[in-house]
Structure 1
Amino acid sequence: MRKLYGDVFLIKLGMMPIVVVSGSDTVKKVLSKQGEHFANRPEFYSFSLLANGQSMTFSEKYSEAWKVHKKIMKNALRSFSKEEASSSNCSCRLEEYITAEASELVNSMTQLAANQGSFNPLPLVTITVANVVCALCFGKRYNHHDKEFLQIIELNDDLQRLSGAGLLADFIPVLKYFPSSALNELKKFIRALNDFIAKSVQDHYESHNENNIRDITDALIQLCSNRNTVDKHQKLTDEQIIITVNDIFGAGFDTISSGLLWCMLYLLKYPETQDKIHKEIDENIGISRSPRFDDRKVLHYTEAFINEVMRHASFVPFTIPHCTTMDTTLNDCFLPKNTSIFVNMYQVNHDPTIWKDADLFIPERFLDEAGHIDIKV
């Protein structure tokens, strides 16, 4: 359709008019150059169910308060970056969480391979990612057989399955008033997940110690405590802290798991690429220790491989839908306020005017002549 109608065209899904945006230059306008004009989310019914309709990612309207909310969340996440955590009172870092879970994943996969040969890596990858997210948000690592932990994963899997299939009520709003077993299931799963996160955050309020920041929840509570001034005049309410943790928690599950599984698939599909990555890791890290964030600067081919998986697979073909905040124009097309926008990232990632042999998997496209990662590509 892009080849026929260009970089900006209108389709209708149910009762909902949708503007589809393609082309690198046009996408940059939507996401960056004219970003404030496209910074809202459409009022989809499914978005209203998440975090009681107050999700920063899906529901909260673009405003000065939203900017403060985003800044606080970024500051809390930064508290667990390697540089910030080493000079703060955080008792743990994201790097340690990931390293421990990666080792557990390797051990589990090695054992399964030895016992039964072939196996499905999906459950193990999901558990690994879930544990990193739980440790990041709640400072708690679960045993892989813990009933509460497995219930969380099952809830999230059900949520992804139902929401991933698409909710007709988003595009035909009247359907939200009709009986629907799928919609009732979705509401039940979202309610259970919201309750779990709200309880976990409440537990943190009761045990919070400003001299021992255990996780993102503690960092948010600390940043928004009465002793701290956030953006001079504004800070998050208790309910907004719960919503923020909910957003971080939800964002870490499905996309990261999918990305890791796609990486595994490409490594199996292209064994010569796997050999190059293995050789690079052996030469720069060896087998005496686990990889660290600092190793990225010497693992050029490995990073090029990850970039190429993201580009070639494009397993998230569209961004989360956007919505115009005002009447605006895009490539001379007039778009009224509250127009829903779908950003076509799959097309950008496979645009032959940007990528030579766009349909081929070539990690080397991200390397310069010296074999170093070239992020300008």
Structure 2
Amino acid sequence: MSKTILEDAIQEELSFFLQAIHECVHTDFNCNRVLNNAVANIISSVVSGKRFEYTDPLFVKFMKCLDENIRNIGTANVLNVLPIVRYLPGDLFKFKQTLRNISMIDKEIIRPFIEDNRNNYDDSNVTNFTSAYIKAIQQRRQEGQNTNMSDGNLETCLRDLFIAGSETTATVLRWGLVYFLNYPDVQEKCFQEILENVGQSRRPSMKDKTSLPYVEATVTEILRCADIIPSSLPHSVPHDVEFRGYTFPEGITVLPMLSSALHDPDLWGDPRNFRPDRFLDTEGKFQKMNEHIPFSLGHRACLGEALARMELFLFTTSMIQEFEFRPVDGVSPSLQGLPGIVYRPQQFNMKAIPRAK
């Protein structure tokens, strides 16, 4: 699957997303739902070639289940440590609700996606993850190769992609709006750069990225400051590893603390300050820093990093090109987040003012 296919899916969804924002102009509104809908629809397009209308009853039901499961993950993880608690009366740890939601998502979303792609499969027109997976299975079988690829494995992949690819990107975009509302000078500087290099007659594309270094620096700083998954996910080592005088035995669980790099005062100087300029060199060009690892690093880094970075750039540039975002009654939202499976901002309302053209 090419980057063009991914960008096309994002640009298509952006049209619906921006229209939804236009319907809320000059009013106080909460962006959570429309952002979640847009990002989930991009994942849907990428994995199945299908998008939903935001008011589609099935999509509304799906988003409700997805949101509940993401919020329940932290509580349900108690069962990994104390599995016996699942037999307690009631549903104190939301385990039963989580299973019901997974069943609904599998039965009404994931399996129909797979069936639809199989029924309409065209070997010469593979344009989404599901059809690519089906093609890979068929090729291996034709070549007589043993493979563990299966419909069951595909279902798990699609479920993981929806969970991992929806909430995380939408959360970073919400944090971006929080920082723009707290730092209107950064928002205005981003707009001026977009105005000078892209204009307002067309929507920004990935080809514009090199000419928008301050915007890229701002997105990079949002990722660093938001730090939405401070401790990453559990990993293990395949063999004994010696590190700084310690021995990590084979199979030991390792929990990488990404915050230790993203907020290290020795690296950043003022890590708690939101300062996009730290990613610009003396000539004003974007400079990448190896210590910036919000997607982790190495062979087990986030597999959706390329898609997420593309979404963050295109959504940020398109939103700022189209609207000026202002806090309600001049009161900016809190920069203190809420802990959970992802570190997310507190609920907030805002105003979207269309830019003069």
User: What letter matches 1:364 in structure 2?
Assistant: D
Contact kept, 8 Å, 1:222 with 1:228, in 2: the verdict is: no
Name structure 2 gaps, 5 residues minimum.
291-357
The 5 A counterparts of 1:328-339 are: 328-339=241-252
Task: Write out per-residue CA displacement over residues 8-63 of structure 1, whole angstroms, 9 at most, x where no aligned residue.
Answer: xxxxxxxxxxxxxxxxxxxxxxxxxxxxxxxxxxxxxxxxxxxxxxxxxxxxxxxx
Question: Hey, what's the Cα distance between the residues in 2 that align with 1:219 and 1:365?
Answer: 40
Q: CA distance change for structure 1 residues 366 and 331 in 2, over 3 Å: closer, same or farther?
A: same
Partner of 2:151: 238
Q: CA distance change for structure 1 residues 96 and 235 in 2, over 3 Å: closer, same or farther?
A: same
User: What letter matches 2:233 in structure 1?
Assistant: I
Task: Write out per-residue CA displacement over residues 279-318 of structure 1, whole angstroms, 9 at most, x where no aligned residue.
Answer: 1111111111111111111110011001111111212111
How big is the shift at 1:231?
12
Partner of 1:190: 102
How big is the shift at 1:245?
2.5
Question: Hey, what's the Cα distance between the residues in 2 that align with 1:240 and 1:167?
Answer: 22
1:80 matched to 2:2? yes
1:269 matched to 2:182? yes
Contact kept, 8 Å, 1:304 with 1:367, in 2: the verdict is: yes
How big is the shift at 1:261?
0.4
C-alpha RMSD of the superposition: 2.2
Question: Hey, what's the Cα distance between the residues in 2 that align with 1:235 and 1:288?
Answer: 49
Partner of 1:260: 173
Question: Hey, what's the Cα distance between the residues in 1 that align with 2:260 and 2:128?
Answer: 38
Question: Hey, what's the Cα distance between the residues in 1 that align with 2:190 and 2:287?
Answer: 17
Task: Write out per-residue CA displacement over residues 157-187 of structure 1, whole angstroms, 9 at most, x where no aligned residue.
Answer: 1111111445212233433444451111111
Pick which of 266-275 and 131-140 moved more.
Answer: 131-140
Question: Hey, what's the Cα distance between the residues in 1 that align with 2:143 and 2:270?
Answer: 49
SS of 2:254's equivalent?
strand
Tell me which of 265, 284, 288 is aligned to 1:352. Answer: 265
Partner of 2:126: 213
SS of 1:353's equivalent?
helix
The 5 A counterparts of 1:1-377 are: 79-82=1-4, 93-114=5-26, 117-165=27-75, 167-179=77-89, 181=91, 182-195=94-107, 196-226=109-139, 234=147, 236-376=149-289
Q: CA distance change for structure 1 residues 235 and 173 in 2, over 3 Å: closer, same or farther?
A: closer
Contact kept, 8 Å, 1:223 with 1:230, in 2: the verdict is: no
Question: Hey, what's the Cα distance between the residues in 2 that align with 1:255 and 1:368?
Answer: 29
User: What letter matches 1:255 in structure 2?
Assistant: T
Name structure 1 gaps, 5 residues minimum.
1-78, 83-92
User: What letter matches 2:80 in structure 1?
Assistant: D
User: What letter matches 1:144 in structure 2?
Assistant: Y
Contact kept, 8 Å, 2:117 with 2:130, in 1: the verdict is: yes
Question: Hey, what's the Cα distance between the residues in 2 that align with 1:238 and 1:165?
Answer: 29
How big is the shift at 1:376?
3.2
Question: Hey, what's the Cα distance between the residues in 1 that align with 2:244 and 2:263?
Answer: 21
Question: Hey, what's the Cα distance between the residues in 1 that align with 2:112 and 2:66?
Answer: 17
Contact kept, 8 Å, 1:105 with 1:128, in 2: the verdict is: yes
Question: Hey, what's the Cα distance between the residues in 2 that align with 1:214 and 1:96?
Answer: 11
SS of 1:320's equivalent?
coil
Contact kept, 8 Å, 2:140 with 2:146, in 1: the verdict is: no
SS of 1:375's equivalent?
coil
Contact kept, 8 Å, 1:229 with 1:235, in 2: the verdict is: no
Q: CA distance change for structure 1 residues 155 and 230 in 2, over 3 Å: closer, same or farther?
A: farther
Q: CA distance change for structure 1 residues 165 and 288 in 2, over 3 Å: closer, same or farther?
A: farther
SS of 1:374's equivalent?
coil
Question: Hey, what's the Cα distance between the residues in 1 that align with 2:140 and 2:100?
Answer: 38
User: What letter matches 2:182 in structure 1?
Assistant: K
Question: Hey, what's the Cα distance between the residues in 2 that align with 1:175 and 1:327?
Answer: 34
